[in-house]
Amino acid sequence: METATPPPNARPTIQAKQFFSAAILADPRSRQALEGLSQLAVDEQIVQFCNLEAMEQVHRWRVEFKPDFLVAYAMADIRLAGTNLRADGAAFRSNDRWYNVKFNCEVAPDIKSVVAFEFQVGDEIPESEWEAHLLSTGAKAR
């Protein structure tokens, strides 16, 4: 009996069992970020909350990834329905390289925590494509 093997470029979809963005923002060192977040429109708050969750989920999945920046709409438009965000063309920066990532994120109605999250990391994005997708080549964003 043969077992089916996935296509060579197939990547697993990771279902998060824990969520981290609320705890990160509750840390006193995040006070300024939390204040800035509260100044944004609700849709942008959801995007930023999900971006933060995505970076932390990727890092905890593979510790060698150290995301310091994420662009949810880098390769494709995002889709936002209520508190649900789907980013099929996101990109994150880790160790001065950019990588494809797609994720689905659901934020609680009060926009203070993530309640569902799944993601799939793709391939590294060639440096020749960075400029076309407005991916930073300069100093790390902080």
pLDDT category of residue 5 using cuts at 50, 70 and 90: very low
Q: Report the C-alpha gap between 27 and 112 in whole angstroms.
A: 13
What residues does each domain of the chain span? 14-133
Q: Looking at domain 14-133, does it have CATH number 3.10.450.630? A: yes
Output the pTM of the full model. 0.86
Lowest mean pLDDT among 37-41, 80-84, 120-124: 37-41
Percentage helix, strand, coil, to 5, in the chain?
30, 30, 40
Average pLDDT on 35-61 reads 93
CB 68 within 8 A of CB 94: yes
The pLDDT of residue 89 is 97
**Above 90 in pLDDT, residue 61?**
yes
Residues 50 and 70 sit within 8 Å (Cβ to Cβ)? no
Q: What is the mean pLDDT of the chain?
A: 89
Read off the tokens for 138: 């300069």
Q: Looking at residue 26, what DSSP letter applies?
A: H
Residue 106 β-bridge partners: 84, 116
pLDDT of 29:
85
